[in-house]
Structures are given as C-alpha cells and as structure tokens.
Chains A and B, each alone.
Chain A
Amino acid sequence: KAGVTQTPRYLIKTRGQQVTLSCSPISGHRSVSWYQQTPGQGLQFLFEYFSETQRNKGNFPGRFSGRQFSNSRSEMNVSTLELGDSALYLCASLEMKGDGSTDTQYFGPGTRLTVL
C-alpha cells in the first residue's frame, strides 16, 4: 500500500495570506489527524477527523480549520497567516478496526510552511 502523502511538500506565504494543505491517507484508513511541529513548541495536535467528522480538536485558534472528504482525504486551512505559523505540518492516518480499537498511526512526510 502507498503511504500517507502530503502536498505540497514546501510552501512559502506572506503574512495575512491563507493556505490549504492536503493529506491523502493510506487506503482504507478513515481517521486522519494533523499536527504542527515547531522548534519552540514541539509536536502539537491540531485535530482529528473520522468519516468526515471532526472528533477532536487541539488548542489552536479558529484560524486553523480542516475538513475530510468522503474518500478520507483531508485538508487543513490556515487563514490570516502569522509569522508564528511557520512550521512543519504533519498528517497521520490510522485504521479503525471493527471492534472499535485502533492501531498504529502512520505519518506523512509533512508540509514545510514558511511565512514571511
């Protein structure tokens, strides 16, 4: 199976712009999570989607939003970009088993966002 793919891999934006990042999970995985990684704050959870529904959300401002499509692909959007939004944004997919249990999250290579 192909792994988690994220596009684009690198992105440069200016303050005040908005950006959309895309994530395609592993085939058959219906849970997609997003994380922000910065040198100062480390890896922080943004949100988790399952079957097009956001089930959990981290402590980020409303400028950060996301959605999931019926094919499980997910996008996250950041509006009114700030310098502090410069980070590596990681997406992870996970298979939900029939008994409700979960297994391993697999991470994509990330999108490196630079805000100037």
Chain B
Amino acid sequence: AQSVTQLDSQVPVFEEAPVELRCNYSSSVSVYLFWYVQYPNQGLQLLLKYLSGSTLVKGINGFEAEFNKSQTSFHLRKPSVHISDTAEYFCAVRVGTGGFKTIFGAGTRLFVKA
C-alpha cells in the first residue's frame, strides 16, 4: 500500500534562515509527487509537483524540491524563509491510472519567527 511520511510535525525557524521539510513515500508503482501549502481556514494551494523529468523541481514562492527515487524522498527546501511562509505544508503522492487517489502526509507546521 502507498503511504506518505512527513518526518517533522513542526518546524520552527527564524526569518531569513533556510528550511527543509522532509517527506518520504512508499509505493511499488510510479507516482506523481506534490507539495501543497494550507493557510488557516483555506484550501490547499499547490507549491510544486514532480510528474517526470528533472528531479529538481522549482515551485512558487521560492520553494524547490528534489525527487530521490533510491531514497523514496521528496524533500521541500527554501533558502530563506519569510514570516508569510508560516503555514501547514503537505506532501502528497497521487497513484492510480484511470481512477486515482491522492494520499497525503500528516502535514508539517512551519512556524517562522522574527
């Protein structure tokens, strides 16, 4: 069965510092990988996605992620965070062809301190 593990439930970091949010997945088939951000009382906004091709994926708001097939990881990084990046971040894997479903990790709460 497929699963997604976000290794940190909370990540506190100071403003302008770099951050890495870790995500590991398990799947016996090819997957599509995503990172979403959720601000309070809002839906999910796509940060970036890996469907195929280059393993380094760049997204919005300065975020990037690297797909590592051998380690089954898809860690999210940003070189310098802002207060406005404080939010919940979800790693997700989409599986299936024809009918599909998206499996989400438990989420990582990023808290940026001044």
B26-82 at interface with A (beta carbon < 8 Å)? 32, 34, 36, 41-46, 49, 51
Evaluate contact between B44 and A90: CB separation under 8 angstroms: yes
A57 CB, nearest partner CB in chain B, Å: 9
- Least CB distance from B47 to A in Å reads 11
Residues of B within 8 A of A45 (CB): 101-103
A106 touches B46 (CB 8 A): yes
B90 sits at the interface (CB 8 A): yes
Q: A3–B10 Cα gap in the complex (Å)? A: 30
Question: Which of A35, A56, A90, A109 is close to B100, meaning CB atoms less than 8 Å apart?
Answer: A56
Give A104 to B34 CA distance when docked, in angstroms: 9
Q: Tally inter-chain residue pairs, CB-CB below 8 A.
A: 56
Main secondary structure of the interface of A (DSSP, over half): strand
- Chosen A-B contacts, 27 in total, with CB atoms closer than 8 Å, are A4-B43, A33-B102, A35-B102, A35-B104, A42-B104, A42-B105, A42-B106, A43-B104, A45-B101, A45-B103, A48-B99, A55-B100, A56-B96, A56-B99, A58-B101, A102-B32, A102-B100, A104-B49, A105-B34, A105-B46, A106-B46, A107-B45, A109-B42, A109-B43, A110-B42, A110-B43, A112-B41
Query: Other CB < 8 Å A-B pairs besides A43-B107, A48-B101, A55-B100, 6 of them?
Result: A43-B104, A90-B43, A90-B44, A104-B34, A106-B46, A110-B42
